[in-house]
Amino acid sequence: MLYKATLYRNKAGEVQGVFAAARDITKRREAEERLREASIYTRNLIEASLDPLVTISAEGKITDVNEATVQVTGVPREKLIGTDFGSYFTEPEKAREGRIRAFSEGYVRDYPLAIRHTSGKITDVLYNATVYRSPTWEVAGIFAAARDVTERKRLEAELVQAERMNAVGKLTTMLAHDLRNPLIFISQAAELARTQPDKADRMLQLIKENTERSLNMIEELRASTREISLQRIDTDLTSLIRKLVEETQLPDGIKLEVVISEGLRKVSVDTRLMRRVVDNLVSNAVEAMPNGGKLTIRATSEGDAVRVDVEDTGTGISEEVATHIFDAFYSTKAKGLGLGLPFSKRVVEAHEGTLSFTTKLGVGTTFRVKLPQRV
């Protein structure tokens, strides 16, 4: 109970007695106790967090921290409070920008920063922050939590390095395997040309063919690792396709059909690179028809794009191969590095186009290039 007492007097000013009033404050005391317990419980939760937790004012000053923040910065709590939030990061300006964004948008998610300890140790973190409000619903500050991702980034870097070394290993194996055969041919042909002059012309031809094959492999590898730089010109695809057809020697047993729609608008392309793309698709189509078949090259308009289809009636592509067909160094062929299709896809996409395919086992495959038409 809460008592309040007041003296009362007579007209002469003499004390006559005491007037007392009692108020039951049990419920208020209980509410205060619950509030105190809730505050202690909340503080314990905050301190138990392994993640640094910080509250920040609108001016960017730290108003409260937990023990994890003390540990990651190396600065005592009493020295942290009242200082600038951004001053504990390797990029103070970036931290300031994140704080401003949180105030303007109400939150930030997975904002990358790096905390610098007084010892010089750097901890990579992802900050998640949200505004908190006063009882009158006005924004009072920001509550920010940082998740330490240093170990995760280290593991990711190790994974990237492992994948890089794996790719180098695959490349070395492929080069050793694929270049071995033409080099053996060259060595043997040179020896035969020296010891058997009557076979010199044929041996020199073999040396030339295998040298070109080796150089093509090396060029294919170089092209796959270079950044694609386009030298665009407005091009009539009709003439490009017809020139390619004229210069392509198809094996016996393969019938060629070229279908070009009238009125195709020009496209802005690097003709050299686009020629290599179509060459790759035609070569793949021919290799898919070892027993002969029909090769169709079709150029049509489709909406705002020009579409070029290279269609074969070959063996088709299995589901397993189809999922890897644009992966570098993936190949089911006895020859080649598996770089032709990945390179072709990069070239087409550099032209803001798409390269896709449809296939059916035992029926054939169609590769489709779509390029934006010149306005």
Q: What is the pLDDT of residue 82?
A: 92
How many Cβ atoms sit within 10 Å of the Cβ of residue 90? 13
Does residue 226 carry a pLDDT above 70?
no
Residues in the chain: 375
- Backbone φ and ψ of 56, nearest 5°: -130, 140
Mean pLDDT of all residues in 340-368: 88
- pLDDT tens-place string over residues 254-289: 898 888 887 777 888 888 888 888 888 888 888 888
Enclosing H/E stretch for 164: helix 150-195
Q: What is the pLDDT of residue 15?
A: 64
How many Cβ atoms sit within 10 Å of the Cβ of residue 367? 24
Write down the pTM of the prediction.
Answer: 0.46
Closest by CA position to 310, among listed 296, 300, 322: 296
Closest by CA position to 143, among listed 88, 85, 87, 89: 85
Of the listed ranges 18-22, 97-101, 169-173, 316-320, the one predicted with least confidence: 18-22
User: Which residues are 112's β-sheet partners?
Assistant: 126
User: Which residues are 222's β-sheet partners?
Assistant: none
* Better pLDDT: 126 or 30: 126
DSSP 8-state code for residue 85: G
Q: Judging by beta carbons within 10 Å of its beta carbon (0-12, 13-18, 19+), is residue 320 exposed, middle or buried? A: exposed
The DSSP code sequence of 228-256 is P----EEE-HHHHHHHHHHH--PPTTEEE
Closest by CA position to 260, among listed 275, 240, 280, 274: 240
Closest by CA position to 307, among listed 316, 319, 295, 299: 299
What the chain holds in terms of domains, given with CATH numbers, is 1-48 (no CATH), 49-148 (3.30.450.20), 154-225 (1.10.287.130), 233-372 (3.30.565.10)
Average pLDDT taken over every residue of the chain: 80
Mean pLDDT of all residues in 308-337: 76
Six-digit token string for 17: 């007695």
pLDDT class of 2 with cuts at 50, 70, 90: low
Rounded CA separation 276/230 (Å): 13
Beta strands in 240-349 (DSSP E): 254-260, 267-269, 293-302, 305-312
Say if residues 53 and 144 touch (Cβ distance below 8 Å).
Answer: yes
Rounded CA separation 207/193 (Å): 10
Does residue 41 carry a pLDDT above 50?
no
Q: What is the pLDDT of residue 23?
A: 64
Q: What is the pLDDT of residue 45?
A: 54
